[in-house]
Structure 1
Amino acid sequence: MEGSRKTPGRKATLTRKEQAAETRERLKQATIRVLGRIGYRQMRIADVTREAGVAVGLFYHYFADLQAVTSEVLSDYMAEMTAKARKVTPSDDLFETLREQYKILIGHFEEQPGLMRCMLQASEEIPEFGEIWKASNRQWTHSFARRLSEALGPEKLDRKTSLLMAYCLGSMSDGVVHEYYVQQNPDLVGCVDSRDQLAEALATLTYRAVFLANPPREKLGAAAAIAVAPAGQ
């Protein structure tokens, strides 16, 4: 039984409760690695326990099934994503705000492309996580819609139109980043040199869609060529 035998080193100093917490966390980290390598649909409990270095039977002491551990690790990661996004200081400059938010989104795909791929799979197959996923996306989209309305003014952009634009623009950016990091489309990979370039390209296209104009030229760097074509024509 876990905690029944003392071993040299750090383990010997842990209480039974601490050992249990450590084992549970080890299983979660193992799940993250397995999800990243092979995805949710191919993952088996034996894959997770082998990765964690524990017996298969011990898994059920901490989690009911694969859905439970997957839902927990993906929910944790979504909370981490949200926390990072909220650290961006609100700015009156929509272009700068967009660029920083896209950098954060791209950073998550760079760090955990397999986990980001699994979020879409799990949102369709794990009801509990699916609700969390939908609520998070809805919250982000409504927040983006409010930002668009503030940037243009409610007299120019009503609530329904701003929400429609937010969903369209959000789907564009999610799709491009997913295709680059998860699907690794060779055409797209060949067009992008850096995270900053991709973030700036998405920010520029979003800005043009909202204002029918280019961002200020002096703010552009890696993706300045995207603003060469006349906007609003």
Structure 2
Amino acid sequence: MTVAAKAKTKTKTKRGDLAREKLKAAAVRVLNQTGFHQMRIKDVTQEAGVATGLFYHYFKNLESLVREVMSEHIERFEATADIERDVSKGAWLERMRSHYRLVVQTYAEEPGVMRCVQQFAADDPAFREHWRSSYNQRMEQLVQAFPRVFPEVEIPADEVRLLVYALGGIGQDFLHEYYVEQNADLRSSEYTQDQIADWLAALFYRGLFASNPARESLSHAQILMDIKRGGL
């Protein structure tokens, strides 16, 4: 292949990559506007500003597009090293807060995508298995870390797993109601993403360590320090 031919192929590939990303970005916007079950290929191509026929050059069908978009979101949640990049070793509250920041940001900026996770998982067994496998893997990381965090505690692994999975659900219903369902009662007060992440991280910390984090380590959830039974 000549130098000119190689350059032409590279340009064509780059153009194709840009078109593919454009369609995926458009799909995210449509999901946030209408949801998965109402979305059509025409909606995506119109949002992307491309011809409908171009869609099939990059994706077999609507499901393959949504599967790729959803899989990329899963990869973001799995990127522990990136999420905890600026967190000091042993800083458990900040570790929790860094993960909640990403989750809260995703719910806040892409509520339709988070709704789609449940909808698409119900319709697509392969994606459901991918999503569950990813979630289970993240929970197992905490299960494996438990003996290192609490070396003096002797507790069966199955009970550690029960504890971790129970704690892992903290905030999920709230985030769905607040961002996806736009619950009017919850949204009567507006909270920033940082406020919500701080609250959820503090709740997770209390559940895991059965104690409060240092008051000065919290940015917004200091009131939790004052919530305790009388006489204790």
Q: Which bin holds the TM-score, normalised by the shorter protein?
A: 0.7 to 0.9
State the secondary structure of the residue aligned to 1:99: helix
Deviations 1:174-215 (A, max 9, x none): 222222211122222335532222122212222222232222
SS at match of 1:165: helix
1:143: which partner in 2? 141
Which of 75, 79, 93 does residue 79 from structure 1 map onto?
Answer: 75
Report the Cα offset of residue 96 of structure 1.
Answer: 2.5
CA distance in 1, matches of 2:25, 2:195: 31
- Greater mean deviation of Cα atoms: 15-24 or 134-143: 15-24
Q: Would you say the 8 A contact 2:198–2:218 is kept in 1?
A: yes
Distance 2:159 2:152 in 1: 10
SS of the aligned residue for 1:26 comes to helix
Q: Per the alignment, do residues 220 and 14 of structure 1 end up closer, same or farther by CA in structure 2, a change over 3 Å counting?
A: closer
What number of residue pairs does the alignment pair up?
222
Report the alpha carbon displacement of residue 14 of structure 1 after superposing the two structures with TM: 8.0
Aligned residue type for 1:76: E
Q: TM-score, normalised by structure 1?
A: 0.83
Would the alpha carbon gap of residues 231 and 200 (structure 1) be closer, same or farther in structure 2, given more than 3 Å must change?
A: farther
Deviations 1:135-178 (A, max 9, x none): 11111111123344433336344321221122112222222222
Which whole-Å CA distance do the structure 2 matches of 1:108 and 1:119 have between them? 12
Shifted more, 15-24 versus 170-179: the winner is: 15-24
Structure number with the bigger relative contact order (C-alpha 8 A, sep ≥ 6) is 2
Following TM superposition, where does structure 1 have runs of at least 4 consecutive aligned residues deviating by more than 6 angstroms?
none
Report the Cα offset of residue 127 of structure 1. 2.4
Cα distance 1:208–1:22, how it changes in 2: closer, same or farther (>3 A)? Answer: closer
Residue among 7, 17, 36 paired with 1:40 = 36
Percent of matched pairs sharing the same residue: 36
8 Å CA contact 1:213–1:231 kept in 2: the answer is no
Match of residue 185 from structure 1: 183
Q: 1:129 to 1:231 in 2, by over 3 A?
A: farther
TM-score for both structures, normalised by structure 2: 0.83
Question: Residue type matched to 1:38 in 2?
Answer: T
Deviation of 1:231 after TM superposition, in Å, equals: 6.7
What is the rounded CA distance, in whole Å, between the counterparts of 2:159 and 2:188 in structure 1? 35
Corresponding residue SS for 1:172: coil
The equivalent of 1:63 in structure 2 is: 59
Q: Is the 8 A contact 1:32 1:73 kept in 2?
A: yes
**Residue 23 (1) aligns with residue 25 (2):** no
1:89 aligned counterpart, secondary structure: coil
The alignment yields a C-alpha RMSD, in angstroms, of 2.6
Taking the aligned partners of 1:88 and 1:122, their CA distance within structure 2 comes to 33
1:224 to 210, 219, 222: 222
Could you report, residue by residue, the CA deviation over 1:49-82 in whole angstroms, capped at 9, with x for unpaired residues? 2112222233222211111010011111221333
The answer as to whether partners of 1:94 and 1:151 remain within 8 angstroms in 2 is: no
SS in 1 for 2:220: coil
Q: Within the alignment, does 1:50 sit opposite 2:46 as a pair?
A: yes
Unaligned runs of 5+ in 1: 1-11
2:179 partner letter = Y
The worse-fitting range, judged by mean Cα deviation, of 195-204 and 223-232 is 223-232
1:109 aligns with 2:113: no
Q: For residues 136 and 88 of structure 1, what CA distance do their matches in structure 2 show?
A: 23
